Structure 1
Amino acid sequence: MKVVFNLALGVMTAIGGFVDIGNIVTSGITGARFGMTLAWAVLLGTVIMVLYGEMAGRVAAVGHRAVFDVVRERLGVRFALVNLLASTVLSLLTLAAEIGGVALVLQLFTGVNYVIWVPLAGAAVWLAIWRLPFPVLETVFGLLGLALLVFAAALVLLPTDWSLLWHEMTHPAVPSGEAWPTWLFYAISLLGACIVPYQVVFFSSGGREEGWSVADMRRARANTLIGFPLGGVLSLAIMAAMVPVLRPDSVDVKHLGQVALPVAQAFGVLGLILTFIGFAACTFAAGAESALSLGYSVSQYFGWSWGKWRRPADAPRFHLVCLAGTIAATAFMLTTIDPITVTIVSVVLGAAAIPLTYLPLLVVANDREYMGRYVNKRWQNGLAMLALLVMVVVSVVTLPLIFATKAGQ
């Protein structure tokens, strides 16, 4: 049991960071529209996240540094400020999307318009950050989010053409009637949903909060090697479940409730309840993560005292940033802007900003002064450089694709 709890940070990072509202929505949209032809984007994003997540955990355990400490030092104060501003905007957009996601789940449960639930969702996220101990936050929401495994179970009962799923996964191609730019736009959306920077900020800072040291290296690696691939499996399961139910009728997924339809068809009301529990856990955990990541990044940049475990009196500016961010994100969602639109925009713009966070992390992971014998191996650097090249290409083409496809229309 102790081993299970030791892996809770990785599971929560997977549930709240990897499988958040962005991943749920993009996996649902792409599965219904393109089948499994974009599964490669999830697999690639998972590999990149494992690679850089392991580095973030290793830097936290060995170098005793969180990601934004590294960013400020390696990029310089002025250039890191650009990264901070980009990270802050993206974290706020993500937080707004997650609060909207929680509200949408409550609407699905109750039938009451999601806007009514937005203030309550925002308040609940803040109270969880402020009052719930880290182990409780990690374990409860991480384990509840595993209810999304119901999508994998649904594939067994649905009229699934396994050979078609495998063929599309192994022979990706643009489906007939679809355009290359739109297909690539959603590929970038999936990548952005998988490797958003706030995940490594939360993971490394959470490791520092839990006091990781060299003795905890195995724990840090196990969290990475189990948590992120688990997130990838859940994402692929959601995508695959769309194919036998929504794709034949060319359903254009516009609402979170539509993503739950395959499970409802397979398991009825019980399946819907499990799905909504999983959605609620994922979006709520991601809201808490993004709010904490906002506080972590700002506080680490300015050198303030930070930490969820610190009382507000001991880290007032950290807690103030988390509170202000939650209030701002809640107010943004009260404008009645569509949470799904906010989600798509946040994951795509997040893809454009990724290299700014991941490059300094790679530099420090190769610094013997910090890392000693735990510096990157040659094979790790080779894979990391290829991944960084992919991220740079994604960063360059993101904005042109947004305009060329009208954000995937």
Structure 2
Amino acid sequence: MPDTDIQKEKPKGLKALWNLLGPGLITGASDDDPSGIATYSQAGAQYGLTTLWTALITFPLMAAVQEMCARIGVVTTQGLTGILRKNYPAPVLWLMVLFSFPAIVLNIGADIAGMGAVANLIFPAVSPLIFSVVFTGLLLAAIIVLPYARMAAVLKWLCAILLVYLVVPFLVKTDWPGVVRHTFIPAIQFNKDYISVLVAILGTTISPYLFFWQTTMEVETVKHRHVVVDKRYIQEVGFDVDMGMLFSNIVMYFIILTTGTVLFNAGIHQIDTVEEAAKALEPIAGQGAYYLFAIGIIGTGFLAIPVLSGSLSYIISETFGWQEGLDKRLHEAPAFYGVIVVSLLVGLGINYIGISPIQALIWSAILYGLTSPVIIAIVLHISNNRAVMGEYTNGAWSNILGGLAFLLMIAAAGFMLYFQFA
């Protein structure tokens, strides 16, 4: 074939850029799930602009950890749990399972509750519990019947509604000098409430379930595309991860900025209901703010819950050596899908114990903040283990940023526990 024909077949410009984006972009989009939206909204409402600096700090840290997980998946073609089962003592494996399971299940339940609450906001005559049951049924049907890649390709456009947060600060009176100051100069308050919000922000941005998901999705990509794993491909994977985490952090930054400007200045400093959180979008949508907020929560929920339940199912399936994969049919991996069904039903059951959806969403983020350091330490060890990674072990910057992520989350969790019990 002539060179000119070859060149015509190669995508260029934006299409070429889009082709480089894959699991990293989906991971970043699912990171801004209902739990994340609730946590960032509470941070902005309660403390105004003073937590903006967390978006600047967390981006390189979360990108570094997710890149390690992606590289582990690409190089080993195994998930994190499978690597631990084959290369590490059994207590290490069970420690990771123990620290992951409760947080993921609570996150699933909190997201389902949040979706039910916003649907009730639009249709008050229908109980949020009924909506939660309906959403759970739809999610189970979609996860079991549809390939996740096809479902995510559609649902990620619903998540684009979150971009409206980028517009609101330019429509209202915003303290731009204050925005710049709080973006680059941390204003930390050493009290229980502030540190709890800080732990929740760290937990919902650097979430353990994303570590498992990123690794397994890279494994699926390598197997399905039959790619040659070399330094160039690993660089492309790193670019995909960086873009996904950048998208996630931009949305995070503007949610805090929007709620810190609109809600905080309106005297709403404690978000207890979805109605209060939705008011942040009134400057752009007026009475339609509830609809925008509901679409954003439901869209991110439908994108994130398959990631959450899938991550948990990969963990359990790899632990016991079961057949696994969201690309497999139910009869090909019955135990894998059984874990997904059980996790969603248990999550749905959380709706019936009387916890406020907003509080459940924030508590799940806090629980991630407490458990993440353990998982980060395990990821760091795996990615520096030559017996597992060969020539693709961590470089200096990966270790520095990964170590900083570990130390920051340890410090935040330690301060929170101190203020909680001292």
Same fold (TM over 0.5): yes
Alignment partner for residue 243 of structure 1, among 256, 260, 275? 260
The reply on whether 1:181 has 2:195 as its aligned counterpart is no
Aligned partner of 1:407 in structure 2 is: none
Aligned partner of 1:265: which letter? P
Q: 1:183 to 1:149 in 2, by over 3 A?
A: same
Aligned partner of 2:402 in structure 1 is: 384
1:232 aligned counterpart, secondary structure: helix
Aligned partner of 2:414 in structure 1 is: 396
- Listed as ranges, the matches of 1:143-292 within 5 Å are 143-173=157-187, 180-211=191-222, 213=227, 214=229, 216-251=233-268, 252-269=270-287, 272-292=290-310
- How much has 1:310 moved relative to structure 2? 1.4
8 Å contact from structure 1 (residues 202, 292) kept in 2: yes
Aligned partner of 1:113 in structure 2 is: 127
8 Å contact from structure 2 (residues 53, 185) kept in 1: no
Aligned partner of 1:126: which letter? L
- How much has 1:75 moved relative to structure 2? 4.8
8 Å contact from structure 1 (residues 67, 201) kept in 2: yes
Aligned partner of 2:11 in structure 1 is: none
Alignment partner for residue 357 of structure 1, among 360, 372, 375? 375
Deviates more, 1:136-145 or 1:227-236: 136-145
Number of residues paired by the alignment?
Answer: 400
Q: For residues 155 and 71 of structure 1, what CA distance do their matches in structure 2 show?
A: 46
Aligned partner of 2:6 in structure 1 is: none
Q: For residues 402 and 5 of structure 1, what CA distance do their matches in structure 2 show?
A: 47
1:375 aligned counterpart, secondary structure: coil
Alignment partner for residue 58 of structure 2, among 19, 26, 45? 45
8 Å contact from structure 1 (residues 19, 231) kept in 2: yes
Q: For residues 382 and 95 of structure 2, what CA distance do their matches in structure 1 show?
A: 19
Q: Could you report, residue by residue, the CA deviation over 1:95-120 in whole angstroms, capped at 9, with x for unpaired residues?
A: 10111122122122222331121111
In the superposition, the TM-score normalised over structure 2's length comes to: 0.88
8 Å contact from structure 1 (residues 209, 308) kept in 2: no
Q: For residues 250 and 139 of structure 2, what CA distance do their matches in structure 1 show?
A: 26
8 Å contact from structure 1 (residues 107, 114) kept in 2: yes
Aligned partner of 2:78: which letter? R
8 Å contact from structure 1 (residues 8, 139) kept in 2: no
Aligned partner of 1:388: which letter? F
- Listed as ranges, the matches of 1:71-82 within 5 Å are 71-73=84-86, 75-82=88-95
- How much has 1:336 moved relative to structure 2? 3.7
8 Å contact from structure 2 (residues 373, 406) kept in 1: yes
Q: Could you report, residue by residue, the CA deviation over 1:192-244 in whole angstroms, capped at 9, with x for unpaired residues?
A: 11111001111111222223651642442222100111111101111101133
Q: For residues 311 and 133 of structure 2, what CA distance do their matches in structure 1 show?
A: 21
Q: 1:108 to 1:5 in 2, by over 3 A?
A: farther
- How much has 1:74 moved relative to structure 2? 5.4
8 Å contact from structure 2 (residues 115, 294) kept in 1: no
Q: For residues 255 and 277 of structure 1, what CA distance do their matches in structure 2 show?
A: 16
For structure 1, the residue ranges without an aligned partner over 5 or more in a row are: 405-409
Q: 1:402 to 1:125 in 2, by over 3 A?
A: farther
- How much has 1:87 moved relative to structure 2? 1.0
Q: 1:15 to 1:255 in 2, by over 3 A?
A: farther
Q: For residues 219 and 90 of structure 1, what CA distance do their matches in structure 2 show?
A: 31
Q: For residues 74 and 384 of structure 1, what CA distance do their matches in structure 2 show?
A: 21
Aligned partner of 1:93 in structure 2 is: 106
Identity of aligned residues (%): 25
Q: Could you report, residue by residue, the CA deviation over 1:309-368 in whole angstroms, capped at 9, with x for unpaired residues?
A: 112222111111111111111122133422222222211121111122222221221223
Deviates more, 1:31-40 or 1:271-280: 271-280
Deviates more, 1:27-36 or 1:138-147: 138-147
1:334 aligned counterpart, secondary structure: helix
8 Å contact from structure 1 (residues 42, 190) kept in 2: no
8 Å contact from structure 1 (residues 41, 188) kept in 2: no
Q: For residues 277 and 285 of structure 1, what CA distance do their matches in structure 2 show?
A: 12
Aligned partner of 2:146 in structure 1 is: 132
Q: Could you report, residue by residue, the CA deviation over 1:128-161 in whole angstroms, capped at 9, with x for unpaired residues?
A: 2112212222222222212111011111111112
Aligned partner of 2:215: which letter? S
1:313 aligned counterpart, secondary structure: coil
1:287 aligned counterpart, secondary structure: helix
Deviates more, 1:209-218 or 1:274-283: 209-218
Q: For residues 373 and 315 of structure 1, what CA distance do their matches in structure 2 show?
A: 33
- How much has 1:21 moved relative to structure 2? 1.7
Please say which structure displays the higher CA radius of gyration: 2
Aligned partner of 2:358 in structure 1 is: 340
1:52 aligned counterpart, secondary structure: helix
Aligned partner of 1:12 in structure 2 is: 26
For structure 2, the residue ranges without an aligned partner over 5 or more in a row are: 1-14
- How much has 1:262 moved relative to structure 2? 2.6
Aligned partner of 1:145: which letter? C
In the superposition, the TM-score normalised over structure 1's length comes to: 0.91
8 Å contact from structure 2 (residues 84, 92) kept in 1: no
Q: Could you report, residue by residue, the CA deviation over 1:41-70 in whole angstroms, capped at 9, with x for unpaired residues?
A: 333333221001001111111121212223
